Amino acid sequence: MPKLSNIKKVVVLGSGAIKIGEAGEFDYSGSQCLKALREEGIYTVLVNPNIATIQTDERMADKVYFLPVTPEFVKSVIEKERPDGIILTFGGQTALNCGTTLAKLGILEEYGVKVLGTSVETIETASDRKKFRDTMIKANLPVARSAPAYSVEEAKRIANELKYPVMIRVAFTLGGKGGGIAYNEQQLEEIVDRGLAHSLIKEVLIEEYLGTLKQIEYEVMRDYKGNSITVCNMENILAMRVHTGDNIVIAPSQTLNNEEYHKLRKASIDVANTIGVVGECNVQFALDPTTGNYYIIEVNPRMSRSSALASKATGYPLAYMAAKLAIGYTLDELINKVTKLTTAAFEPALDYVVIKMPRWDFSKFTRADRRLRTQMKSVGEVMAIGRNFEEAIQKAIRMLDIGKDGLVANYDDSDDNIDKIIENLKNPTDEILFYVVKAIKKGIDIKYIENLTCIDEWYLRKIENIIKIEEELKNLNVEKEKPEVLEEKIRRAKKFGFSDKQIAKCLNVEEEFIREFRKGKILYQL
C-alpha cells in the first residue's frame, strides 16, 4: 500500500536527557526515523532537550524544540505546529509514557493528531503488567504465574501464595527500574515500596522466580497488514536472573535446538500479532531447557538496546524500516538499504556471531552494589563480531577499556581462594566471566560452575578452550620451538581472539616480536 497520503507533518518524541539506560540507542533510532520520514517529503518536528545528540543536528529534523519530553511541553508544541501525526516508539520509555498520557488527557484527539505505527492501546497493553498478562492468557500464550499488586500488603499476600523467592516487575518503566528479586518479606517490602513509587500507574507484578532459566529475545517486525518476520534472535548468557541490559548477549543464540528456536520464533510473532504492534518490538522469553517449557516475560513495543544491537549485528536497519512501516508501507514494499537487494520481508542469516558486552563504572561509585540483578546498572556497552564465540568474547573485553587484554593472559590476573570464587559465581558481578576463568583454572567441575552461575555448559566449554590455548602458549619454549610449530600455535590463538599482547605475555617475549613474526618481517633468530 502507498504511504498515508494525509500525513504531511509529524512530531517525533526524541531520546531525552542522558541517563543510565537511555539516550544512546534512542538517538540512533530517532535519527533513522527522521531520515526515513524526510525521504517521504514529510515535515519533521523533533522534541528533545538533549543537545548532545545526532538527531538534534539541524540536518536531521526540519524543526527542533529543545524541550523536555513531557505532556505539558509536547502539548505546547502540538498547539503551535498542528501536526498530522506523532510517533512515540523511537524515544524510549519516556516517549511512550508521554504519548499515553497525551492520549488519556484527550490532547491528541483534540488537535486531530494521529499516532503513527504502534498505537497507544498496544503500548498500554505491553506496558501494563496486568493487562499484558491477561492478554497473553486470553490468546493461550504461556506466562509465568503472577499477579498485580497496588500496595505492599497486597504484594505480601501474593508472594506468600507463590512462595519465595519472587520477582517484582514494575509497570511503565525502563531498565527494570524499581524492580528486583525478593527472597523474604523484608526485601519484598523494600522493593515493592520502591517499585510503586517508580510506576506511572502505581502497579507492580509479583511473579514466580524464573532466574535460573535461559533468557531469549526475538526482534519482530510487523506491518499494518499483519505481515511479520523475526529479524534476529539473541541469547542472554547470564540467564534470567540478570537484566538484559546488564547481560552478556550473543546473536544468534548458540544453545537452542531447532525445535526450541522455531517454537519461540512462532511465539514471538504470535505475541506481536496479538497486541497489534506496527513497526518493531522486542519479545523476551524464559526457556526451561530441561522441560522445553517457555514463558513470555515482556514485550518492548519500541526501539530498545536490543533493537540497536540486532540492527547492527544483522545489517537490517530496524529503526529506518519501522519508521517506513509507521507511515503505511508493508514489508514487501521496502528494500533493505544495506543489502540493496533484499526486501524488508527477508529474514537475515548470519555466518558469524555478535556479542554485546555491558560497560559498568562501579569504580567511580565505591559504595554501589556491584551485584548484577534485574535492575540495570550498566552505563554503556560494546559490540564485538567474530567467527566464533571465543574470538568475539575476547574482542569485546578488550573494547570495554577496563585494562583487560582479553579473557585470559592479563597483567593484573590475581589468584583467589575457592570460597571467594564460589561466592562470586553465586552472586554475579561485573567480573563474573573472570571468576569463571578462575574457577576452571582451580579445577572446579564445569557442571558445578553451571549450577552456580546458570551459564550454559556450552559457553563454559568455550571459555575452557580459551584457557587451554593460554596453557599451550605458556608451555612453548620460544628459543627451542620450530618456527612452523610456533606459527601454527600463534595462528590458532589469533583465531580464538588472542591479541599480540596476550600471546607475548604467554610466551614471555615482547609484543613487537609477536607482531613482526606474525607478519613475516623478521627471520626466526633469537
pLDDT digits (tens, 9 = 90+) for 7-32: 999 999 998 776 655 556 788 889 99
> Do 197 and 168 form a contact (C-beta atoms < 8 A)?
no
Q: Report domain 9-116's class.
A: alpha beta
Give me the chain's average pLDDT, please: 92
Q: Which CATH number fits domain 145-208: 3.40.50.1820, 1.10.760.10, 3.30.1490.20, 3.40.50.720?
A: 3.30.1490.20
Only one residue has cell 543537545, namely 51
User: Per residue in 21-65, pLDDT tens?
Assistant: 555 678 888 999 999 999 999 999 999 998 888 899 989 999 999
Does domain 214-350 correspond to CATH entry 3.40.50.800?
Answer: no
Q: Which of 508, 499, 468, 504 is nearest to 406 (CA)?
A: 499
Is pLDDT above 90 for 239?
yes
pTM over 0.75? The answer is: yes
Residues in a beta bridge with 354: 251, 385
What is the architecture of the domain spanning 433-519? Orthogonal Bundle (1.10)
* CA end-to-end distance (rounded Å), the chain: 71
The most confident of 178-187, 255-264, 337-346, by mean pLDDT: 255-264
> Given strand 249-251, what is the order of strands in its sheet?
294-300, 279-287, 214-222, 228-236, 249-251, 353-359, 380-386
Q: How far apart are CA 413 and CA 434, in angstroms?
A: 9
User: What's the pLDDT at 375?
Assistant: 85
Residues in a beta bridge with 250: 235, 355
The most confident of 91-95, 197-201, 328-332, by mean pLDDT: 328-332
Domain ranges of the chain: 9-116, 145-208, 214-350, 433-519
Measured torsion, CA atoms of residues 99, 316, 221, 292, in degrees rounded to the nearest 10:
-120
Q: How far apart are CA 124 and CA 117, in angstroms?
A: 14
Is pLDDT above 60 for 465?
yes
Residues in a beta bridge with 216: 235, 285
Is pLDDT above 90 for 307?
no
- Least trusted range by pLDDT, from 103-107, 231-235, 237-241, 485-489: 485-489
* Fold match between domain 145-208 and domain 433-519: no
